[in-house]
Amino acid sequence: MSASGTAPTPSVAASFALIADEVRGVVAELVAQDDPALDAAAVQLRSADRVFVLGAGRSGLALRMTAMRLMHLGLDVHVVGDVTTPAIAAGDVLLVASGSGTTGVIVRAAETAASVGAEIVAITTAPGSRLAELAGVTIVVPAAQKTDHEGAISAQYSGGLFEQVVELLGDALFHSLWQASGATADELWPRHANLE
């Protein structure tokens, strides 16, 4: 404690290192498990007629980044909630993320997708959740849920580690699909936004 009675502020570099260490630990665990769900998710995305992405809060922001990259790859991608998003149907894939697997809007969307015969790929920390039950492919991230305030799994606030891994998983899925496609970066580049 400082003389004023408050704890000294840790350096940003120390916080950055802590976050990197936590992310590295989760990635190492996922890689060590050699989870077949990772490649199964890529297969589902590659074979989908259309891909719909949905997440709430920061998980949703992470999946929007994934949607952009999949669009760069040439997939027909829609962000659920955008006014131009069409109805999901059989042959489509719904890619969702929810740490708890119980987020109401996401579970309802998965139920709708399942009812019309669409495939569901879920990213969650909760393999026994309703969302995981609905999904044909579930990637289980060994990270804290946002309501886990004990700090035993992550020192970060409110699900930060899960959300960071969601973003990296999206990039890993994209990278795997891109490499499999044989397309060059120059071939993807014309799909980048030009109305900026």
27 with 139: CB under 8 angstroms? no
Instruction: Identify the active-site residue in 163, 167, 187, 196.
Output: 163
29 assigned to active site? no
Catalytic positions, written as ranges: 163
